[in-house]
Every structure is written in C-alpha cells, then in structure tokens.
Structure 1
Amino acid sequence: MRLIVFTDLDGSLLDHNSYSYDAAKPALDLLRNRDVPLILASSKTAAEIAPLRAELGFVHCPAIVENGAGLLPAHMSLNASSGEVSEYQRIRAALKQLPSGLQGLFVGFGDWSDREIATQTGLDLKKVILASKRFYSEPGLWRGDDGQRQEFETWLEKKGIKARQGGRYYTLSFGATKADQMRNIIDDLGWRDRPVLTIALGDAPNDIEMLEAADRAVIIKNPHGPTLPALSGEEAYPDHIIRTQKSGPQGWNEAIQKLFGQIYSNDAHRQTQNPKSQGD
C-alpha cells in the first residue's frame, strides 16, 4: 500500500510559539526512511515553505501554500507568476472598497509594516520578508463582532473571495482549499500499481476539509484555539479519526508513529495471508 501524508504546519508539525519541529524528528525520519511523500499544507507563502521543505528533506514533494489557494510544485524554489501576484492585489483592492461600516475591522499583512508583522507573528525580519511575498491570499486578524463578520463574509463572497479561520489567522482567498489541492496532488501522482492511503494532520478550522478528505485524519490538540467539532464520520469510524493528547510536534510525532505501526502491521498481515500479492 502506498501512503501519502498531508500536514498543516503552525500548531501541527511546527510548535505554535517557537516554530520548531524538533519533537517530530523521529516521525519525520520514519517518513523519509519509508519513502513516504510529505505534503506541507499551510497558510504560509511559497517563499516561506520552499526553504522549510528543503530543510525537512522533502523537496521532491509538492506543497500546498497560502491555505490551499496555490500550489508549490516539487523541486521549485518559488512560484511567482504575474497572474498569482494579481490575485493578492485583487484581494487588497476589494478590501479598500468595503462599506464604511466594515472598514478597519479586518487588518491584514498588507496593513502592517515589516516590524508590525514581526511583532504579530514572532518571526525575525528575514522571515517576515518571505511571509510578505504573497501571491494568492491575505491573512490577518478580525476585530469586529460575529454579526459584522457575517456581513463582511457575505460582502466578500459577492467578489468571489472566501474567508477561513486558521489556527493563527483569518485568511482571505479566491476559494481554493487545502482539500482541493490535496485531490489534485493525488491525481497527479498517477499511482495505479497499489492502493493509496492518505493521512492528514491539522489543528484548526481551515484544516477540516482536508482532514475529512483523508483516509486517516489526525486532529492535533490546539491549546491556543477552540476545539474542532466532531468531523464527518468521526463517531462512526473512530479508528479513522484520532485526536492527540499532546499539542504541536509532540502530538504529530506520536500520531504518525502510532498510525504507521497500525498500517504497516496490517499490511504485513495481508501479505502473509496472500503471498501472491507481493509479486502483483
């Protein structure tokens, strides 16, 4: 059986505060040793994800960027076509056209200086430059109430813009999701020789569609936000959707090792029961 892993970054593979993945290194080694593709799926930009992907040792895998609004192909350091840049500019232009009662309630990266972004994110200024190279989406913070937020989202939808809450930011884009890109990547792999099993890990509302689209889903404990509601099928198939007791990379590491133990144990059992399958 072929496996493919899709993972959120902040609050999942990366620690919410330090952005470290050290606690997940044993599970990352397991993926590399078994040649299992790891697809990073984040609200981060292509410029941010490209060096991280290389550092992790998965440059041969595509990555889902800016909350699913775009895709960073395998082996590519940065995708910066003029069309992609115009999407970001269209979002910023739409924000300037908001009705007066909604003006200023959403504050995004485009409203902050580099130092303000550094203060908001905890990133150093070098990484802030990468985070600001946005092609598809605009993350930010919401400062209004729930009623104003509904009005804001309704107004944006008329412009074709969707808003999704992540683990850290409220992000605007033209509607593609992590789950959309997940399906595209699986189709592009063209695996036909063996069954494909997908694993997805995430901690925030903007991960729900990706988690529900996977064969196995891992909800990483998020002490910095509300607990995710029960996913579709969670009660009926509790073994297919698990929730970690630990947060961030600690929970990520334990979940991957647990799932791999189950999956490869079951696969070995099937091979023993049907030796002919080894040569199929």
Structure 2
Amino acid sequence: MRLLIFTDLDGTLLDHHSYSFAPALPALTEIRRRGYPLILVSSKTRTELLNLREELQLEFPFICENGAAVHWQENNRWQCQAFSPPRASIDAVLQELRRTCDYRFTAFMDCTAEQIATLTDLPLEKARLAGAREYTEPLLWQDSSERLHRFLQQLDEHGLQGVQGGRFLSIMGKFSKASAMTWLVQRYQSQAPTMTIALGDSPNDEAMLQAADIAVVIQSDRSAQLEVNQPRWVIRTSQPGPAGWQEAMERILHTDLHALYSNNNS
C-alpha cells in the first residue's frame, strides 16, 4: 500500500499571511524520511510550484492552477497533462463580458507585476511568477453579489467557471483540484494499491477532500463551510495554516495506516 499526500498551499501548508511553512517542518521531515509522495495542489503557477518544490526538497508530481495541469518528471524529462484551455481564450471571454455588461473587477491581466505584488502581499519577483499564468485568470470581484451570480452564469455558457480561493476568484475551465488528483491517483494505482490523504482549508478544496481516503480540514475562517463526509477518516484541526498541518500529520503519522487500509478493504 502506497500513501499519497495531496496538499493545498495558501492557508494550509503555507501561512496565509507570511507564506511560511516553518511550523510544519517536523512532519515534512518525517514524510521525506519515509519517502511518501507529497503532491502540491494549488492555484499557483507551474513556475511558482517548481520553486516551492525545490524549497521543500520534493521530487514528486504537482498540480498547478487549481487542477489545470499535472506536471511530473519521467526519464529526466518534464511531462504535462493539461485539462484546461489556454489563458488567452479565458481572457478574451472576460474582456468581452466586461465590455458588454460593464462588470467591475480587477484581473491579473489588468495589472503590472507591482500591482500584483500589492494585491497579493508577495515580493515583487514572486508577484511576477504569480502573474505568469497559463490556464487561469484570478480576479478581485468589485461588483455586487447579484451581478456576480449573472457573471457566473455567463461564464458557464462559455464553458468556464469561477472558483473562489483564499483571496481571488479564479476563472478557469471545467476542471478541479479533485479531477486532477483522481487522474494522478489512477497513474499511481497502476503500480500499487494506494491510500490518499488530502489537506485543505477552503471551499475550493472540498471536492479534493471528499475524494480522499483521509481528509484534513485545516482550521480557517471558511473551514466551517466545508461539508466533508465521504472519506474514511476526517480530521478537523484546532490550529490554522502550517501549525494545523503539523497537528494533523503528526496524528496521521502515528496511526497504523496499513491496518486502517486493510480494515476498509476487507
């Protein structure tokens, strides 16, 4: 049985304000020692995740831009499975809807790197990376909630959706973190039986959490909204961010997961 760990980043493994993962270092070190695949699943871009993957000393696949694509290395070459239309086609729809309906929003496509840095509280260089999106368009909605409902309906008519993350509404194709996770799990299952853990803190993590064998709901100001009842084991942490990540993973790593797997497959 192979354990696969899928984790959201902002507000989960990374502190929502400082972007630090320091409180989770003990669990990260133990996961690395055991050789468990730790798969980053985020709204962040491919380049951002490559940098964070290196910082975390990971060698496993990752899922970028809310499930838009899976990237992995095979025979020392990068491979990609994309589930999304290109960003340019999404931006064209947004520009048309803004022109015809006069919606008020600020999208990354409207911003300089300096403006993205202000919106995200990221250093300038990291803001440049955040702006280099390939499949999705984050925006700040600045109109009414009634008009947002109509806007989302119009996106649906164009085969798109809006997914609310920690700070931004991400405009994207009809895919999700969960669908990309399922695709990747199937690849691993072709090699050996798997047990999956998913960690997240916000509504856009809910489907991913529901699809896992073990779900960890990290405490946040929106975590109470998450209805997670499908997994074999659901953990709700008492602490937010990486401290909550450490709290949950410490508990999981001290559990006989092979026994849990066997009991649920007998």
TM-score exceeds 0.5: yes
List gaps (5 residues or longer) in structure 1.
Answer: 271-280
Contact 1:63 1:72 in 2 (8 A): yes
CA apart distance, 1:64: 0.6
Larger Rg: 1
Q: CA 1:157 to 1:2, structure 2 compared with 1: closer, same or farther past 3 Å?
A: same
Aligned to 1:231: 228
Cα displacement (A) at 1:68: 0.7
TM-superposed CA distance for 1:77, in Å, is: 9.4
Residue 5 of structure 1, CA deviation: 0.3
Deviates most, 99-108 or 205-214: 99-108
After superposition, residues 16-165 of structure 1 pair within 5 angstroms as 16-59=16-59, 61-74=60-73, 87-98=86-97, 102-165=101-164
Corresponding letter in the other structure for 1:109: F
Pairing partner for 1:206 from 201, 204, 207 = 204
CA RMSD of aligned residues (A): 2.6
One-letter code aligned to 2:158? K
State the 1:116 CA deviation: 1.0
Q: Which residue of 2 aligns with 1:5?
A: 5
- Greater strand content: 2
Number of residue pairs the alignment of both structures matches: 261
Counterpart CA distance in 2 for 1:258 and 1:29 is: 15
Deviations 1:59-118 (A, max 9, x none): 2x110100111222237898899x999710111111111165743423211111111110
What is the CA-CA distance between 1:158 and the residue it aligns to?
A: 1.1
Query: What per-residue deviation string (whole Å, max 9, x for no partner) do you get for residues 111-144 of structure 1?
Result: 1111111011111111111111110001121122
In 1, the alpha carbon distance for the partners of 2:182 and 2:83 equals: 21
CA distance in 2, matches of 1:86, 1:69: 9
> Does residue 1:247 correspond to 2:240, yes or no?
yes
Q: Distance in 2 between matches of 1:46 and 1:163?
A: 20
Alpha-carbon distance between aligned partners in 2 of 1:189 and 1:264, rounded to the nearest angstrom: 18
Does the CA-based 8 Å contact 1:63-1:73 persist in structure 2? yes
Q: Supply the distance in 1 between the matched residues of 2:46 and 2:236 (Cα, whole angstroms).
A: 29
Secondary structure of the structure 1 residue equivalent to 2:255 = helix
Give distance in 1, aligned partners of 2:178 and 2:84.
22
Tell me: CA distance 1:98–1:233, structure 2 relative to 1, closer, same or farther (3 Å). Answer: same
State the TM-score, normalizing by the size of structure 2: 0.89
Cα offset, 1:31, TM superposition: 0.8
CA deviation after TM superposition for structure 1 residue 176, in Å: 1.3
AA at the equivalent of 2:19: Y
Name the TM-score, length of structure 1 as normaliser.
0.85
